[in-house]
């Protein structure tokens, strides 16, 4: 059995007993440590007490099967998204890894519009995902056509992709923020109270899985199952540093230049960042895109 699956089993079984396992501090994706402690102390990561969350974890991790598939690659996130779209009346879902400066990479997307939803938010640096992450609360936008003032770049572009409503749920435990679960609909309309509760249960399950993956990570690093998405962010960070030198601007302006060009050329931000790092694209003042 893969180590990560064993750890996930311990997480679910630990929740059944009402306690969290003892762990040492482990760094998360953006350098914040966490310590899971006995839940009786009222500190650390709380035990998963919701029966529905346990059911979702069992379904997604498939640890009750004789030969569980483990957490290799992006399969766990694909299963999580499939479970969410099968339980909540939405058209699709995506899971994003987040960092303090924004979208850190897409862990999974159910379909084309969901992938566009995540790519747009990463490229533009705005959208329900980032708002939910930074404000530490769900963002429930049931009619995206009315949100142009809030997200002037994202809202019209997402609407063109057939996205009419978005519900974003931060994946967090206490002060620790990990990512965001995004659900979208191709028609406007709010979630009712039961649907919202089900979406929140899936967000809790996703946060639990992220914590569990990091439990098995090398101290100071990321779990292998998260590294690919984090590489996305690292390439963007490298490209931003290169642009600061080429264009003689600060980090924030360099990131804006990168995002603006990716949006104008309708390219994924990571793809453009790769070209900048490889010196296939430059941002010198004399380049055409600065005219």
Q: Are residues 189 and 232 in the same domain?
A: no
In a domain, residue 168? The reply is yes
For residues 141 and 147, the answer to whether their CB atoms sit within 8 Å is: yes
Q: Are residues 201 and 264 in the same domain?
A: no
From 165, 195, 216, the end of a domain falls on 216
Q: Are residues 126 and 240 in the same domain?
A: no
Q: How many domains is the chain partitioned into structurally?
A: 2
Please give the pLDDT value at position 180.
96
In a domain, residue 187? The reply is yes
Q: How confident is the model at residue 145 (pLDDT cuts 50, 70, 90)?
A: very high
CATH of the domain at 264: 1.10.10
In a domain, residue 223? The reply is no
Q: Are residues 195 and 238 in the same domain?
A: no
Q: What is the mean pLDDT of residues 9-33?
A: 42
The model carries a pTM of: 0.72
Which position has the token pair 């609360």? 137
CA distance 197 to 215: 27
Please give the pLDDT value at position 33.
33
Top-ranked range on mean pLDDT: pick from 53-67, 171-185, 207-221: 171-185
* Dihedral of the alpha carbons of 43, 45, 51, 53, in degrees to the nearest 10: 150
Q: Are residues 78 and 206 in the same domain?
A: yes
Q: How many Cβ atoms sit within 10 Å of the Cβ of residue 37?
A: 17
From 162, 195, 216, the end of a domain falls on 216
CA-wise closest residue to 230 among 221, 218, 239: 221
Indicate if the alpha-carbon torsion angle 58, 64, 70, 75 is positive or negative: negative
In a domain, residue 2? The reply is no
Condensed to tens digits (0 to 9), the pLDDT of residues 226-281 reads: 766 655 666 777 777 888 888 888 776 777 788 788 878 888 777 888 898 888 99
CA distance 37 to 72: 27
CB crowding 137-160: b at 16 or more within 10 Å, else e: ebbbbbebeebeeebebbbebbee
Condensed to tens digits (0 to 9), the pLDDT of residues 152-202 reads: 999 999 999 999 999 999 999 888 788 999 999 999 999 999 999 999 999
CA-wise closest residue to 163 among 179, 183, 140, 133: 183
For residues 108 and 118, the answer to whether their CB atoms sit within 8 Å is: no
Q: Are residues 71 and 118 in the same domain?
A: yes
With 60 as the cut, is the pLDDT of residue 214 above it? yes
How far, CA to CA in Å, does 118 sit from each of 162, 230, 270?
Answer: 14, 14, 12
CA-wise closest residue to 251 among 260, 263, 262, 239: 239
CA 117 from chain centre, in angstroms, equals 12
Q: How many Cβ atoms sit within 10 Å of the Cβ of residue 290?
A: 11
Q: What's the domain range around 256?
A: 228-278
Q: Are residues 236 and 95 in the same domain?
A: no
In a domain, residue 291? The reply is no
Please give the pLDDT value at position 57.
92
CA atoms within 13 A on the CB side of 205: 26
With 80 as the cut, is the pLDDT of residue 26 above it? no
From 190, 216, 242, the end of a domain falls on 216
In a domain, residue 123? The reply is yes
């Amino acid at each position: 059995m893969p180590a990560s699956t064993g750890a996930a089993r311990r997480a679910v079984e630990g929740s059944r007993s009402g306690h969290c396992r003892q762990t040492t501090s482990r760094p998360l994706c953006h350098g914040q440590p966490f310590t899971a402690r006995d839940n009786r102390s009222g500190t650390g990561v709380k035990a998963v007490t919701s029966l529905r969350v346990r059911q979702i974890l069992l379904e997604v991790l498939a640890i009750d099967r004789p030969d569980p598939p483990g957490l290799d690659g992006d399969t766990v996130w694909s299963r999580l998204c499939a479970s969410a779209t099968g339980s909540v009346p939405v058209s699709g879902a995506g899971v994003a890894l987040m960092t303090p400066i924004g979208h850190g990479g897409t862990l999974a997307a159910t379909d084309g519009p969901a992938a566009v939803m995540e790519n747009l938010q990463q490229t533009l640096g705005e959208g329900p995902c980032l708002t939910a992450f930074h404000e530490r609360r769900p963002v429930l936008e049931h009619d995206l056509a009315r949100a142009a003032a809030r997200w002037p770049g994202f809202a019209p572009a997402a609407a063109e992709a057939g996205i009419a409503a978005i519900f974003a749920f931060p994946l967090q435990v206490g002060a620790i923020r990990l990512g965001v679960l995004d659900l979208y609909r191709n028609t406007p309309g709010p979630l009712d109270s039961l649907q919202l509760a089900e979406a929140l249960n899936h967000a809790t399950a996703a946060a639990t899985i992220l914590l569990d993956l990091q439990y098995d990570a090398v101290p100071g690093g990321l779990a292998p199952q998260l590294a690919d998405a984090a590489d996305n962010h690292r390439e963007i960070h490298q490209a931003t540093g290169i642009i600061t030198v080429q264009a003689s601007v600060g980090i924030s302006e360099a990131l804006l230049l990168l995002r603006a060009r990716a949006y104008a050329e309708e390219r994924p931000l990571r793809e453009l960042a790769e070209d900048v790092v490889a010196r296939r694209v430059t941002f010198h003042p004399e380049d055409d895109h600065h005219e």
